[in-house]
Amino acid sequence: MRVHMATGFSHAFDREAEGYAARWNSRLRVRHWRARIAAAAIVAMPPPARVLDVGCGDGADAKLLAAAGYDVQGIDVSPGMVARARAGGVRAEVADADHLPGDACDLVLANFGVVNCLPSLDGLARGAGRVLRPGGVVMLVTMCRHAPMESLSRVARGRWPRRRGAARVAGQWVPVYYRDPGELIAAFSGAFDAERVEGLGVLVPPPDEGGSGTRLAGLDALVSRLPLARRLGDHALVVLRRR
């Protein structure tokens, strides 16, 4: 779960930056999901497009997209995460999702739960509509309200399903606003049309529940595009295009 844009909690994410790559980026399932998101970006807006990575964290997505030929600018509310991204060669600055930088771009990416840290999506929707050129793309990856595989995995381990209103980040509770794809589409409907929706982790539990999930990765990718299933993943990818 990458929840870097929680305004007012940037110090928690500053602490989380230490060792973040080992805890999250190194997991096979996360790397597979990142590859799927990058592939969707190439289909929706091929390189050498200009990308704004909102909630860039330590720059993992930015580096992957830059390697594919994109011109990437990252922003994050956490100075600690921005420092990590810069140390990895990513062009990044401290900014939040409600106040996107004004330079025109072709693709806005908000990956792994950035939208779940925002009490309202209005600011992000307005900002994306302002900075994106006509025909530009927004790619949002949300933590869904219902994730059956996570619930089954936790119950099997004797724990309570945890899709609640907060997550613990570096010892501090941070609000989390679980949102389904339809809510994102509605929030951006003023200037954007939905183009693609798919789930991430419909058949496999979340990365922090253990196991690599590689044996089911291909089947998960296929099932996750079905209309009902794509709302039941750990995350869901929503691709919208500016009119």
Domain at 216, CATH number: 3.40.50.150
* Model confidence band, residue 3 (pLDDT cutoffs 50, 70, 90): very low
Does residue 73 fall inside a structural domain?
Answer: yes
Q: Which residues contact 61 (CB under 8 A, 6 or more apart)?
A: 34, 37, 38, 53, 109, 111
Residue 3 counted as domain residue: no
pLDDT of residue 46: 98
pLDDT, tens digit, 9 for 90 and up, residues 172-231:
778 899 999 999 999 999 999 999 999 999 988 777 665 555 677 788 888 988 998 888
Query: Tens of pLDDT along 35-67?
Result: 999 999 999 999 999 999 999 999 999 999 999
The radius of gyration computed from the CA coordinates of the chain, to the nearest angstrom, equals: 16
Structurally, the chain folds into a number of domains equal to 1
Cβ atoms of 55 and 114 closer than 8 Å: yes
Q: Say what the pLDDT of residue 63 is.
A: 97
Whether 121 has a pLDDT exceeding 80, the answer reads: yes
189 located within any domain? yes
Q: Report yes or no on 1 lying in a domain.
A: no
What is the per-residue burial (b if ≥16 Cβ within 10 Å, else e) of 165-200? eebebbeeebebbbbbbebbbebbeebbebebbbbb
Q: What is the pTM of this model?
A: 0.89
- Greater confidence, 18 or 2? 18
Q: How many CB atoms lie under 10 A from the CB of residue 130?
A: 11
Mean per-residue pLDDT over the chain, rounded: 88
Asked if 193 and 215 count as a contact pair (C-beta separation under 8 A), the reply is no
Question: Quick check: bond before 48 cis, omega within 30?
Answer: yes
Q: Binning pLDDT at 50, 70 and 90, where does residue 72 land? A: very high
Q: Is the pLDDT of residue 119 over 60?
A: yes
Q: Please name the residue that has the structure tokens 């994106």.
A: 132
Burial (CB < 10 A; 0-12, 13-18, 19+), residue 83, is middle
Residue 65's domain spans which residues? 10-242
pLDDT in tens, 154-168: 677 777 666 677 777
168 assigned to some structural domain: yes
CA nearest neighbour of 62 among 87, 92, 83: 92
Type of residue at 177: Y
Whether 30 and 212 have beta carbons less than 8 Å apart is answered as no
Is residue 5 in a domain? no
- pLDDT score for 185: 98
In a domain? residue 2: no
Give Cβ neighbours of residue 120 (< 8 Å, ≥ 6 apart).
none
pLDDT of residue 219: 87
Question: What local confidence, expressed as pLDDT, does residue 211 receive?
Answer: 56
CA dist 164 and 97 (Å) reads 22
Count how many residues are written for the chain.
Answer: 243
Instruction: Give the pLDDT band of residue 127 (cuts 50, 70, 90).
Output: very high
